[in-house]
């Protein structure tokens, strides 16, 4: 049961205070949402609306400027694209609303399992940390998917380049054999398109794009760029040798990421069990009077905050190691 009498205060005070707090929170959320919506055009004909939309379309284009690959904005876009949402141009807004929504859900869940009100407020901090971790995990999954398929790209490209020395065309051929809907296929097709359009001048842009995603992909892009700009049988053979060496390294990294995922699962289980133990202690009748004390609730809130922060730090360490 959700406690409605906070800190044993008189219900008159809580019933008078909570409606104002709730109204202020709803007004703030409505203000944030309203900033990203335009009022409907009333009293205008369809032709006038189309003309105005055409005239203002050029001014609206800068709102969705291209974000550098691997930047914070790009990672947020990738994370929300994974759930079917386009956050282009409003990355901070989407992330803020998601943090608030997840924090509110966690706050309610902590109340339902029996934690005190003040301790349950840590749910908002947990929601903030969870969403940041979700963005990092989404980006890590993209990198993992690319590195898992990168050996196949190098192996097939090495085979195709023996019969089709044209590197951009060979990249297009190999891209057609990669898994559909995966990030490496999209990157390979984009790199081939850059090569066709800009020629050798596209090599630097391709390297920067690859470096923003993964060090391994950056090395592969550098190998492809050197083979394309230099040419010759010697560089083709050198590419084959380097591709074989890089394939061994990538296979080891994929295995390490799998073990890191197992360790992350263990950390998640331990964190969940810790919160369940705290909830069990808060429901213990012998501790009921103690749990009502504001000082005790604040102490539990600090403990929960340390747990959430520690979970995020351990997750980041695992990610950096693998």
- Please tell me which residue, 9 or 181, carries the higher pLDDT value: 181
Specify burial of residue 152 (Cβ count, 10 A radius: 0-12, 13-18, 19+).
Answer: middle
Half-sphere exposure of 214 toward its Cβ, with a 13 Å CA cutoff?
23
Sorted by sequence, the CB contacts under 8 Å of residue 68 that are 6+ apart come out as: 74, 208, 212
* CA 28 remoteness from chain centre: 25
Q: Are 142 and 183 contacting, i.e. CB atoms less than 8 angstroms apart?
A: yes
* pLDDT surpasses 70 at 301: yes
Instruction: Quote the pLDDT of residue 26.
Output: 67
Each residue's pLDDT tens digit, 156-170: 888 888 777 788 888
Rounded to an integer, what distance in angstroms lies between the CA atom of residue 165 and that of residue 276?
62
Each residue's pLDDT tens digit, 253-275: 667 777 777 777 888 888 888 87
* pLDDT surpasses 50 at 40: no
CA dihedral for 301, 302, 304, 305, sign (positive or negative) = positive
- Token pair recorded at residue 11: 């219900």
Q: How far is CA 281 from CA 114, 150, 227, 268, 277, in A?
A: 9, 50, 65, 20, 6
Instruction: Quote the pLDDT of residue 297.
Output: 76
Q: Are 240 and 158 contacting, i.e. CB atoms less than 8 angstroms apart?
A: yes
Rounded to an integer, what distance in angstroms lies between the CA atom of residue 181 and that of residue 91?
23
Instruction: Quote the pLDDT of residue 71.
Output: 81
- Token pair recorded at residue 250: 């990538």
**Banded pLDDT at 1 (limits 50, 70, 90):** very low
Instruction: Quote the pLDDT of residue 44.
Output: 46
Instruction: Quote the pLDDT of residue 32.
Output: 59
Percentage of the chain exceeding pLDDT 90: 0
Each residue's pLDDT tens digit, 80-119: 888 888 888 888 888 988 998 988 888 888 777 777 777 7
**Banded pLDDT at 235 (limits 50, 70, 90):** low
Q: Check residue 315 and give left, alpha or beta (phi > 0: left; psi -120 to 50: alpha).
A: alpha
**Banded pLDDT at 284 (limits 50, 70, 90):** confident
Say which range, 18-27, 116-125, 203-212, has the weakest mean pLDDT.
18-27
Which contacts of 224-230 are long-range, i.e. CB under 8 A and separated by 24 or more positions?
224/157, 224/167, 224/171, 224/191, 227/161, 227/167, 228/167, 228/168, 228/195, 228/200, 228/203, 229/200, 229/203
- Please tell me which residue, 66 or 295, carries the higher pLDDT value: 295
* pLDDT surpasses 60 at 49: no
Average pLDDT score over residue span 138-158 = 83
* pLDDT surpasses 50 at 306: yes
| 3-state SS, one letter per residue, for 264-298 | HHHHHHHHHHHHHHHHHHHCCHHHHHHHCCHHHHH
Rounded to an integer, what distance in angstroms lies between the CA atom of residue 219 and that of residue 244?
13
pTM (two decimals)? 0.65
Determine the 3-state secondary structure of 214 from DSSP.
coil
What is the widest separation between alpha-carbon atoms in the chain? Answer: 86
Rounded to an integer, what distance in angstroms lies between the CA atom of residue 138 and that of residue 158?
30
Element (H, E) at 180: none
- Token pair recorded at residue 29: 């959320």
Rounded to an integer, what distance in angstroms lies between the CA atom of residue 54 and that of residue 149?
43
Instruction: Quote the pLDDT of residue 47.
Output: 42
Determine the 3-state secondary structure of 131 from DSSP.
helix
- Please tell me which residue, 301 or 25, carries the higher pLDDT value: 301
Token pair 């989404």 is found at 138
Average pLDDT score over residue span 224-229 = 83
Closest CA to 220 of 258, 167, 163: 167
- Please tell me which residue, 196 or 311, carries the higher pLDDT value: 196
* pLDDT surpasses 80 at 18: no
Show me where the domains of the chain are located: 142-255
Rounded to an integer, what distance in angstroms lies between the CA atom of residue 56 and that of residue 17?
46
Instruction: Quote the pLDDT of residue 282.
Output: 72
Instruction: Quote the pLDDT of residue 66.
Output: 61
Rounded to an integer, what distance in angstroms lies between the CA atom of residue 68 and that of residue 211?
11
């Amino acid at each position: 049961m959700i406690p409605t009498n906070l800190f044993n205060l008189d219900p008159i005070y809580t019933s008078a205070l909570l409606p104002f707090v709730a109204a202020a929170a709803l007004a703030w959320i409505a203000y944030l949402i309203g900033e990203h919506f335009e009022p409907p055009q009333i009293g205008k004909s369809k032709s006038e609306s189309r003309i105005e939309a055409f005239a203002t379309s050029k001014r609206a284009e800068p709102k969705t400027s291209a974000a550098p690959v691997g930047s914070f904005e790009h990672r947020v876009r990738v994370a929300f694209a994974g759930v079917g949402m386009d956050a282009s141009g409003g990355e901070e807004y989407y992330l803020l609303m998601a943090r608030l929504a997840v924090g509110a859900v966690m706050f309610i869940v902590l109340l339902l399992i029996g934690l005190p009100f003040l301790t349950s407020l840590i749910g908002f901090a947990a929601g903030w940390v969870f969403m940041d971790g979700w963005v990092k995990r989404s980006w890590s999954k993209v990198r993992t998917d690319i590195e898992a398929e990168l050996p196949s790209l190098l192996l097939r490209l090495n085979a195709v380049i023996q019969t089709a020395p044209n590197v951009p065309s060979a990249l297009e051929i190999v891209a057609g054999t990669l898994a559909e809907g995966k990030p490496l296929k999209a990157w390979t097709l984009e790199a081939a398109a850059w090569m066709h359009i800009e020629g050798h001048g596209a090599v630097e842009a391709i390297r920067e794009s690859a470096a923003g995603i993964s060090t391994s992909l950056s090395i592969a892009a550098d190998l492809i760029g050197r083979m394309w700009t230099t040419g010759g049988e010697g560089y083709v053979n050198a590419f084959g040798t380097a591709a074989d060496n890089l394939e061994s390294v990538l296979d080891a990294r994929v295995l390490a990421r799998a073990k890191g995922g197992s360790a992350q699962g263990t950390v998640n289980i331990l964190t969940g069990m810790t919160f369940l133990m705290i909830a069990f202690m808060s429901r213990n009748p012998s501790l009921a009077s103690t749990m009502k004390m504001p000082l005790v609730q604040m102490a539990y809130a600090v403990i929960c905050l340390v747990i959430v922060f520690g979970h995020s730090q351990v997750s980041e360490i695992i990610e950096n190691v693998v």
